[in-house]
Chains A and B, each alone.
Chain A
């Protein structure tokens, strides 16, 4: 298995532009998580899905952020409009079951100028 796949790996954009991050979880995993990592705030959970349904989006910073999971093999995190303070590394992770290890993707490093 290729593991959790994220794209793009790096994204540089200008303030105000729309940004879409993509994630393909490991086949068979039924839970998917989006995290954001910065030096100041560490690793923050933004939203997670179980069986393609959003369960907890309390970590989504504001309405500019939205996430979808149209099927079991694909999820997107969209920021519109983007702001410089959104600059961070965004990770996607997946797992199967109730309480078990999460498998992380390599992350997308987002820079908003």
Chain B
């Protein structure tokens, strides 16, 4: 079964609005990562947050991590059409180097 699960599965907003995506996972982790995938392309790493961190920022991205709830959120502020993509969270699995990806949130930014 999936370690990480994103919510919602799909999100459609107007350009300029903020987009929030959530991720839940099942077991303890060392870190959680968010990736973006544009249609027909490979995944691109956005941000990594470690288990001892609660919040991290990178440009218009803000990630939070709540290990007590086993959940994370990705906030994209002031969205742009170029942010249209699928977003995946990924967690390490039982301390191993491998990552387990969720099913992703498909984000559409309408001009």
Chain A residues proximal to chain B, CB less than 8 Å = 4, 31, 33, 42-43, 45, 48, 50, 55-56, 91, 93, 98-107
B30→A102 contact, CB < 8 A: no
Name the interface size band of chain B. Answer: 20 to 34
Question: Could you tell me the distance between the alpha carbons of A88 and B102 in the complex, rounded to whole angstroms?
Answer: 17
Residues of B within 8 A of A (CB): 2, 30-31, 33, 35, 41-45, 48, 88, 92, 96-104
Contact residue among B2, B97, B101, B102 (Cβ-Cβ distance under 8 Å from A55): B97
Chain A residue contacts of B98, Cβ below 8 A: 33, 45, 48, 55-56
Contact residues of A: prevailing secondary structure = strand
Q: Contact between B43 and A42 (Cβ–Cβ < 8 Å)?
A: no
Question: Do the beta carbons of A104 and B42 come within 8 Å of each other?
Answer: yes
| Chain B min CB distance to A11 (Å) | 15
| Cα separation A112 to B81 with both chains bound (whole Å) | 34
With A and B bound together, what is the CA distance between A106 and B38 in angstroms? 11
Q: Which residues of B contact A99 (CB under 8 A)?
A: 30-31, 92, 97
Q: Known pairs A42-B102, A99-B97; list 12 more (Cβ under 8 Å).
A: A4-B42, A33-B99, A42-B103, A42-B104, A43-B101, A55-B97, A56-B98, A91-B43, A101-B33, A106-B42, A107-B41, A107-B42
Ordered nearest first, which 7 A-B pairs have the shortest CB separation? Answer: A104-B42, A101-B45, A43-B101, A104-B43, A42-B103, A106-B42, A99-B31
